[in-house]
Amino acid sequence: MSAPQQSTPPASLPSMTSPLGTALPAIRDRDYLLDRSGVIFKVIGDVHPGSHWLGYVKYYPDERGDRELFGRTYRQNTVVSKAFGILADRPECYVYSPAIGCVITGVPREDVVTHYSCRRALAALHHSPELLDGSPVSKDLAAIITWVVDAGATDVIGVTGSFLVGVCNARSDIDLVCYGSRGYETAQALFAERSLIQPYEGDTLTRLYIRRAKYMAGSSFDALLQQESRKLQGLTTGAGAHINCEPLRADGDRTLAAVAAQEVGAISVLARVTDHTEGLATPAVYGISVDTVIGSTIDEPTTFARRITQMRSYLGAYTGAFREGDVVYLSGRLVHLHGPGEHSTFGIELTPWSAAESFLANLSR
């Protein structure tokens, strides 16, 4: 069998300049990257191999889409594992990550043409509000950005999602990120500002449940809403649009930099959260102790039960969702984790990089 060939970008590309894009080298988790083929990747994590920036396809040229960018029709992707199919003719975008312990997708570094920084986007939208389309949700975002600027927090709050790359529309959510402990505290203050953001309560709780239950199957109404109430999310006061803020690790945080993972199999358990300190920011790492093994693809799963001490998630769904003492149903990949020196342990990885099924972490009691 011949080796797969590298895909070749078109010889003539439409203009890909954007007032929201930069050529800054400091690429952070949740920033976006545009490659030479016109595909936009969402960066995942802050630990990357030398050849690629890890991430998944967020927007890509497709006539079936409903977004416009660079004079082309774009389609949005919201499922991490679907990036493998979207990139089926670009095998150079499949890369093994020792930090994650499996093959995931990423953009080759030499293919990147534009870097969209979440923090730079917030600053650009503040200085050039005409970049927003004037819709009610855009006006809400403008007011929120003004609050962030007045709070002196532009270095710890950023804008991600559709507003980051200018493919927003009247139905868009507002997606924010915050960095480190100061960013988290600032975001808490922002979400407590009732002139800008209303909490999910009353009838809107059903709306939140429906929104989340799509990928948290099996969770009861009350348990899911208790889990979700711990996150930074709500509804904008003007348009009633969903808004959330994902806490990310501070610049220079090296907690996961020297940790490597090896996939062992799949496992589902009931576990008790023993430490949520590192679970308040993405990638989230919770200390756990396993109470009961429910199912597994490996032989003698109870042998591993007492050795499992962590659950991890690179996606924001479970960041900040659990607290010490919670009992949680977990279903994910069993991974062996080893860090500096001889330290090693086992953990449950909740990120479905290439799996058709959804991995879960549901509050039990």
DSSP 340-357: STT-EEEEEE---SS-SS
DSSP 163-215: HHHT---TT--EEEEEEHHHHHHHHHHHHT-TTTEE---TTHHHHHHHHHHTT
At 77, is the secondary structure helix, strand, or coil?
coil
Q: Are residues 110 and 184 in the same domain?
A: no
Question: Which CATH number covers residue 359?
Answer: 2.40.50
Last residue of a domain, one of 62, 95, 116: 116
Q: Are residues 66 and 37 in the same domain?
A: yes
Q: Residue 11 has what pLDDT? A: 32
pLDDT in tens, 241-293: 999 999 999 999 988 999 999 999 999 999 999 999 999 999 999 999 999 99
Q: What does the block give as tokens for 217?
A: 């199957």
Whether residue 113 contacts residue 35, with contact meaning beta carbons closer than 8 Å, is answered with yes
Q: Are residues 279 and 349 in the same domain?
A: yes
Last residue of a domain, one of 116, 138, 155: 116
Q: Are residues 179 and 298 in the same domain?
A: no
Q: Residue 219 has what pLDDT? A: 74
Q: Are residues 195 and 317 in the same domain?
A: no
The alpha carbon of 283 is separated from its chain's Cα centroid by a whole number of angstroms, namely 8
- Residue 248's Cβ-side half-sphere holds a number of Cα atoms within 13 Å equal to 26
Q: Are residues 349 and 301 in the same domain?
A: yes
The range of the structural domain enclosing residue 125 comes to: 118-248
pLDDT of 23 higher than 70 = no
pLDDT level of residue 215 (50, 70, 90 thresholds)? low
Query: Is residue 212 in a domain?
Result: yes
Domains held by the chain: number: 3
Query: Is residue 19 in a domain?
Result: no
> How many angstroms separate the CA atoms of 211 and 198, rounded?
17
CA distances to 15, 324, 334, 344, 353 from 162, rounded to whole Å, are 19, 34, 33, 39, 22
Q: Are residues 223 and 268 in the same domain?
A: no
Q: Are residues 44 and 166 in the same domain?
A: no
Query: Is residue 328 in a domain?
Result: yes
The whole-number average pLDDT for the span 17-24 is 52
Strand 174-179 and strand 242-248: pairing? parallel
Q: Give the chain's end-to-end CA distance (angstroms, integer).
A: 53
Q: What does the block give as tokens for 118?
A: 């979440």
pLDDT level of residue 13 (50, 70, 90 thresholds)? very low
Q: Are residues 85 and 135 in the same domain?
A: no
Of 245, 195, 228, 252, nearest to 363 by C-alpha is 228
**Whole-prediction pTM:** 0.90
Q: Are residues 138 and 243 in the same domain?
A: yes
Q: Are residues 149 and 108 in the same domain?
A: no
Query: Is residue 11 in a domain?
Result: no
Query: Is residue 227 in a domain?
Result: yes
